[in-house]
Every structure is written in C-alpha cells, then in structure tokens.
Amino acid sequence: RAKRAAMAMSALVELAAGTMAGVGICLVGHPFDTIKVLLVMQTAENPMYSGMMDAAKKTISSDGVAGLYRGVASPLVGMGLFNAVQFASFTALRKVWTNDGREDTIARIAGAAVCTGAIAALIEGPQDLIKSQMQKQIASAKAAATRGTPAPPAEFASTWDCAKQVVARRGPIGLLQGIVPTIGRNMIGVGSYFVFYEMARRAFTNNYERQPTSLEVLTAGGFGGVMYWMLCYPVDVVKTVMQTEPLDPAKRKFSSSLAAARAVHAAHGWSGFTRGMAPAVARSVPANAVGFVLYEWSKEALSRR
C-alpha cells in the first residue's frame, strides 16, 4: 500500500509540474506561434510579410500586442494538459525502460521519448487544430484588408465556438483532423526534445557528478527546444496545411499528408518546408528554457511536501 501511495504521489507531482511547464511555454511562445502560422499560410504569388519581424510589426500595428495572442485560450488549456501528460508519460516510460537495474542510456531515453510523443499527439492534435483554424481566420481577414477587399465572414466567434463547431459538424473524430502528421511530428520532435535536453544536462554535470544549476537547466531546455523544431519542422508544415483545411472534407484540397506535402513542394520548392521556421526556432529557446525550469522547480518544491 505504501508503495502504491508513493507511486500515485509521484505521478501527481509529475502532472502538476508538467502543467506549470505547459502554461509557461504557452505564455512565452504563443506570439511566435501566431507569426509562424501567418508566414506558413501566405501565398507565394502575393506574400503579405517579408519575414518574421515584418509579420510581428504588422500584426501589432493592426491589432496591438493582443493580436499576437489571438487563439491563446485553446493552447493555454491544452499546453497545460499536454505537458502534464507528456512529462508524466515520459517519466513513467523511462522508469519502465530502466527497470530491474538497467542503465538509463540515451537510447532508452530516446525510446521512451518517441513513445511519449505519439501519446501526447492525441491531446496536442485537437488543440493545434482549433488554434490553427482560429489563426487561419485572422490571416484571411488580414489578407483581405491588404487587397482592399471585404473580409470574409468570420466562421468562428471564439476559440470555444470553434471547438463546438468542429464537434457539431464532424463529431469527436473531427478533432483529429491532421492527426497523422501530428503524430509523426511529435515522435520526431519530442524524441529529440528529451534526448538533447538530457545530453546537455549530462554534459554540464559530467554525467551527474552534481546537480545542474538553474542556468544550465535553462540552457539545456532551450537546446532541447531548438532541436525539436530543427528536426521536425518539415512535418509540422504539412500538419499546419492539413489543419488549416476546411472542416468539411468535401471542401478540402488534400486527401492525405502526402498530397499536402506534394502541394507545398509544387508551390514553394523545398524551401516551402522551412517557411515559418525562424519564429518557431526563436520561440523554442525562451519558451522551452522557461518550461524546463518551471518543471524542475515545481517538481522539487512539490516533492519536498
């Protein structure tokens, strides 16, 4: 009984610390994510923005700083839940893979992290769909304003309205639009995220001869975040294309992730798979640095109670 109680308490600590990390990552990173979607969605024939800074300036000019946080409600809730599940799943899988005294190698950490990515995608996918649909609506209105034409009618009144309409039109399965590239992205990205974070921590502490400092955790977290996006970004572009398609399957251009990838290449060449990468990588450093520090601090504080 005591062992089960300790395991339950450990799981609760992981969930709480992961939630804190998710909230911090979202608040720091959402403006960068908004810019990323704007850059991915613009057409090659009539681009609205020359780059990341231009997109940020124009968004703030037209909507204020609040414009960078449009659609934040869904990821704020979702990132808390997502990171709670992500950190708890990773810790549990890591323990399973190193059970019976097996060495906690980088290869075993990678296996646990890749599996964690697939699990977490089932939560992150619906969250990303709603966020992408809301950001697409904003981008369409901006494009119309640039052309001097009337803005199309808003499809969704709010983030919550978007979620309700997805379920009303397509049922709960509608929330899984774009789930295949989401799982692919997460398996690559989350695998890289934890592996490079762990490698950096081991390098800083000479394989844990001492505990890492807060600055070292910040640096390792930022490094893990950068590697997440550097390695999975082309798949994320395909995911964004799939998740900004109409909710009605009959109105969609692409029947599969492969079709979407081919369309990106046809329209923009190989560079199409890196559009919007700059804000994603820029976001990853402060957001994940803060996220890992909040996770480690929260975990340490809660474990002492």
What is the model's pLDDT at position 305? 64
Q: For 153, what's the count of Cα atoms within 13 Å in the CB-facing half-sphere? A: 1
The arithmetic mean of pLDDT across residues 134-145, rounded, is 79
What is the model's pLDDT at position 183? 97
pLDDT digits (tens, 9 = 90+) for 237-251: 999 999 999 999 999
What is the model's pLDDT at position 235? 97
Concatenating the DSSP letter of every residue in the chain gives -HHHHHHHHHHHHHHHHHHHHHHHHHHHHHHHHHHHHHHHHS-SSS-S-SSHHHHHHHHHHHH-GGGGGTT-HHHHHHHHHHHHHHHHHHHHHHHHHTGGG----HHHHHHHHHHHHHHHHHHHHHHHHHHHHHHHHHHHHHHHHHHTSPPPPPS-SSHHHHHHHHHHHH-GGGGGTTHHHHHHHHHHHHHHHHHHHHHHHHHHTTTTTSPPPHHHHHHHHHHHHHHHHHHHHHHHHHHHHHHTS-SSGGG-S-SSHHHHHHHHHHHHGGGGGGTTHHHHHHHHHHHHHHHHHHHHHHHHHHHT-
pLDDT digits (tens, 9 = 90+) for 44-76: 777 788 888 888 888 898 888 888 887 787 778
The arithmetic mean of pLDDT across residues 257-271, rounded, is 94
Q: What is the mean pLDDT of the chain?
A: 88
pLDDT digits (tens, 9 = 90+) for 98-113: 877 788 899 999 999 9
Token duo for residue 6? 């300790």
* Least confident stretch, 6-15, 225-234, 277-286: 6-15
* Least confident stretch, 35-39, 119-123, 170-174: 35-39
What distance in Å separates the CA atoms of residue 173 and residue 179, rounded to the nearest whole number?
10
* Least confident stretch, 71-80, 170-179, 195-204, 292-301: 71-80
Token duo for residue 257? 């992730």
Tell me the one-letter amino acid at 253.
K
Inform me whether the pLDDT recorded for 208 exceeds 80: yes
What distance in Å separates the CA atoms of residue 95 and residue 299, rounded to the nearest whole number?
16
What is the model's pLDDT at position 82? 84
What is the model's pLDDT at position 243? 95
